[in-house]
Copies of this chain bind each other. A is one copy, B any other.
Amino acid sequence: MIEAIGLDADDTLWENETFFRVTEAEFASLLADHAEIDDIAGRLYEVECANLERYGFGIKGFVLSMVQTAIELTDGRIDGQAIGRILELGRDMLAHPVELIEGVEAALDALSGRRLVLITKGDLIDQERKIAASGLAGRFAAIEILAEKTPAAYARVLDRLGIASGGFVMAGNSMKSDVLPVISLGGHGVFIPHQMTWAAEHADPGPDPRLHHLDRIADLPDLITQIEAVP
């Protein structure tokens, strides 16, 4: 039997990556005024990945990586005004309203008798802001904001909440962060792809009976029933 259901937040419950891509496009057009550069987004991605260990996930680290990329790609010729504009792009992201993904509220309604746990990663203050603004906090028995979604991090959460991994289902849009770590612990993973998912979150696993695919979160309640029906 399924004891508890974990749900990712960014791009599973509400839109997130879209705002990063919009900001990235504004960043590229800002830099285009200062230098002729190919593949600005690709260079930014390299800087982001190199900084991930020290900055972690989230908007503040993204802004610092944009500033660094702008300096590197212009050999330091970028001016203070343009960098001020990059900081503003970050502040706009931090103030952006939360937009729930279609079907989320109905799915949570259908799962309301279940023990639901929200498990997200990123900037603590920004995640808390979005959780509050989403109006969904009351749906969850527990809310866990992690620095990284590794198998060890999930194991600590399950241990703390007293959930056996075999009775745990985790659903989210990242194969790498939401699905595979939980399967590696013996739980179920539900991959609900979002049309925009950050490249660093991609993974291409082989087939597994505990790995499930859904096109939309609206189908999650039925899937849970099906998982429980398998002897």
Interface residues of A (CB under 8 A from B): 54-56, 60-61, 63-64, 67-68, 70-72, 74-81, 83-84, 87, 90-91, 94-95, 123-126, 128, 142, 145-148, 160
Contact = CB atoms under 8 A, between A and B. Distances in A.
A168 to B, nearest CB: 19
Protomer copies: 2
Given A60-B55, A123-B124, A80 B71 contact: yes
A79 B82 CA distance: 10
Contact of A124 (B64, B71, B80, B145): B145
A87 B228 CA distance: 51
A142 B123 CA distance: 21
Query: Which 10 A/B pairs are nearest by Cβ-Cβ distance?
Result: A56-B125, A76-B80, A76-B81, A60-B60, A78-B80, A71-B80, A125-B147, A71-B84, A124-B147, A124-B124
